[in-house]
Amino acid sequence: MAHDVFISYSTEDKPAADAVCAILESHGVRCWVAPRDIMPGADWGESIVKAIRASRVMLLVFSTNANKSKQIKREVEIAADGGVTIVPLRIENILPTESFKYFLGNIHWMDALTPPLERHLEAIAERVKAILSVDSLSREEVAEVALPSNAPKREGVSREQRETSGAKWQVLRRPRFMAALLALVLAVSVALFVGMPATTVSKLNGTWSGNDGATYVIQQNGRMISWTGGNPPLFENVFDGQITDRGYIEGDWHDLPGYAVYSSGKLRLKIESNVRLIAVSQTGNFGGTIWTKK
């Protein structure tokens, strides 16, 4: 079965891994988790390696047990070597060993330290869905719609074959063409909507809550936006950016040194209203995706 997320966990933390898997799959995110998805008779190690390499995201359930596991360290190493996005979820208040820091030191962590775990699951699902939220239309399908009339013929199908195949060719071709055309129309509509300039500059000054468990104090001066925020002693970060003509906030963020994690990158936020912001793109594995004004 095709999947998006590989869940890495210590066997002692199976209840937590099962809960994370259940919430992700209830949100339509396809997961791979052992031993559930290992085929009968298949080699265990080979199945793990193939599943990691076929994933887009590894969600690492991090605990004391995971911190001591050589198997999980190998799984993280395979994911890092394969360019798989690693999302560590810390369920115990511990720091990674030096060997884990090599792979996870510059990654923004998610925390679910305060029980029960269930109260953190929605934020976990939102974070993973944000990472996976990319255009599902393939390059070939986009090219199919945008193909010019004088483009080279497809290999193995001549003009004469297309003309003589008549209605049969059209019937076979129509569903895929219509699906791709509909996707193109939707993309153009979204582009036009996004391209509309913001009519007003939102008033965003105040204290905000992020779905990463942090509190942010936003200061606005015209179109200039800055914040300080965090969840000490785990992390604290700052942001500087501006509101664009299209109604987005774009800028740079970085964690402050001296905390459990440190990273930096760029953020692009959509202003849904004066009391709600949503991250539409980010670098540096920023933990939050939704901010709500208190």
pLDDT per residue as tens digits for the range 105-122: 667 778 888 778 888 888
Task: Walk across the sheet containing 110-111 and list its strands.
Answer: 31-32, 5-8, 57-62, 85-90, 110-111
Residue 23 has a pLDDT of 92
Region 241-245: mean pLDDT is 88
Kindly tell me if the per-residue pLDDT of 202 is higher than 70: no
Q: What is the pTM of this model?
A: 0.48
Q: What is the pLDDT of residue 54?
A: 94
Q: Which domains are delineated in the chain?
A: 5-132 (3.40.50.10140), 206-293 (2.40.128)
Which of 30-39, 50-59, 189-198, 215-224 shows the lowest mean pLDDT across its residues? 189-198
Question: Which among 195, 190, 225, 231 is positioned nearest to 210, based on CA atoms?
Answer: 231
pLDDT at 256: 79
Burial string for 257-288 (b: 16+ CB within 10 Å, else e) reads eeebbbbebebebebeeeeebebbebebbbbb
Q: What pLDDT sits at residue 177?
A: 55
Mean pLDDT of 141-155: 38
Backbone angles phi, psi at 182, to 5 degrees: -60, -40
Place of tokens 């965090």: 230
Q: How confident is the model at residue 141 (pLDDT cuts 50, 70, 90)?
A: very low
Residue 174 or residue 141, greater confidence: 174
- Measure the CA–CA gap between 171 and 232, rounded to whole angstroms: 61
178 alpha-carbon distance from chain centroid: 29
Specify whether the backbone of 200 is left (phi greater than 0), alpha (psi in -120 to 50) or beta.
beta
Q: What is the mean pLDDT of residues 127-145?
A: 55
Distance of alpha carbon 41 from the chain centroid: 33
Of residues 286 and 168, more confidently modeled: 286
Does residue 32 surpass a pLDDT of 60? yes
- pLDDT band for 254, please (50, 70, 90 cuts): confident
Separation of alpha carbons 24 and 121, rounded Å: 8
- Residue 206: helix, strand or coil by DSSP? strand
